[in-house]
Amino acid sequence: MVLPIAFGWRHLLFANWPVDADLIDAHLPDALSVQTYDGTGWLSVVPLTNVHVRPRGLPRAAGVTLPELNLRTYATCEGEPGTYFFSLDAQGVASVVGARLLHHLPYFYARIDHRVDDGRVRFRSRRLHPGARPAHYAASYRPDGDPFEADPGSLAEFLTERRRLYTQGYDGAVRYTDVEHDRWTLYPASVSTKQNTLFEGDGFDHPDTEPVYYYTPGTDVVTSRNKRWTPTG
């Protein structure tokens, strides 16, 4: 049985595009439904670094650092809201293989550079996973404004305050992991994107809508075991 995981998320950018819900729904497992905000679905590109990644209960010093770039959407399963990942690009072959086999997450090996220079985060990722579609991303970002906590019912809350992750196992079954962390401290973000082929790499056209950006310095996280979802009906 896979142990729960403890880690930290650091220097996250939530880059969010409104997208027609039907386009997203075509890419989801049958058991999941697109969750919309004011009638619109959303796709989000999220670069970050995972720090102190370790089995829950071990000291932080036993953990590893894992830069990551993911493409996600927002979905419900029998009414329970969560995040669904189309891909997670990460540096570290062993970590990618372990996440795929043990946690049923669609991780892809990538070469990633994630650093902070004078308060600005610079992130580059190039997918190198054998047999996968190529996906490149290069952007810099920083907080630009006052910190805030998302108001209940707001778009910022919808896009960031999630406590369940949905995945699809190799047998086609939907699986889920529950996530515990404090509410985000968010900032408006200033973003400069030089390259982004993540949508095309995951089978979508690049959205022609304007993105909404949020930055957060991060938070610490603990997860439940990854579990198979069983229909109640």
Show the domains of the chain with their CATH numbers: 5-228 (2.40.400.10)
Q: What is the per-residue pLDDT for 1?
A: 46
pLDDT digits (tens, 9 = 90+) for 164-179: 999 887 788 899 999 9
Residue 28 burial (CB count, 10 A): 18
pTM of the model: 0.94
Q: What is the per-residue pLDDT for 157?
A: 98
Token output for 65: 């650092």
Give the chain's radius of gyration (CA, Å): 17
pLDDT digits (tens, 9 = 90+) for 113-136: 999 999 999 999 999 998 889 999
Q: What is the per-residue pLDDT for 107?
A: 86
Nearest to 107 by CA among 124, 127, 125: 127
- How far is residue 176's CA from residue 223's CA, in Å, rounded to a whole number? 10
Q: What is the per-residue pLDDT for 164?
A: 96
* Complete DSSP assignment for the chain: -PPPEEEEEEEEEEEEEEE-HHHHHTTS-TT-EE--BTTBEEEEEEEEEEEEEEETTS-GGG-EEEEEEEEEEEEEETTEEEEEEEEEEES-HHHHHHHHHHH---EEEEEEEEEEETTEEEEEEEE--TTSPP-EEEEEEEE-S--B-PPTTSHHHHHH---EEEEE-TTS-EEEEEEE-PPP-BEEEEEEEEEE-HHHHTT-PPP-SPPEEEEEEEEEEEE---EE-----
b/e code 173-188 from CB counts within 10 Å (16+ = b): ebbbbbbebeebebbe
pLDDT digits (tens, 9 = 90+) for 51-71: 998 888 899 999 889 999 999
Per-residue pLDDT of the chain (233 residues; tens, 9 = 90+): 457 889 999 999 999 999 999 999 999 999 999 999 999 999 999 999 999 988 888 999 998 899 999 999 999 999 999 999 999 999 875 555 555 555 567 889 999 999 999 999 999 999 999 888 999 999 999 999 999 999 999 999 999 999 999 988 778 889 999 999 999 999 999 999 999 999 999 999 999 999 999 999 999 999 998 888 988 76
Q: What is the per-residue pLDDT for 178?
A: 95
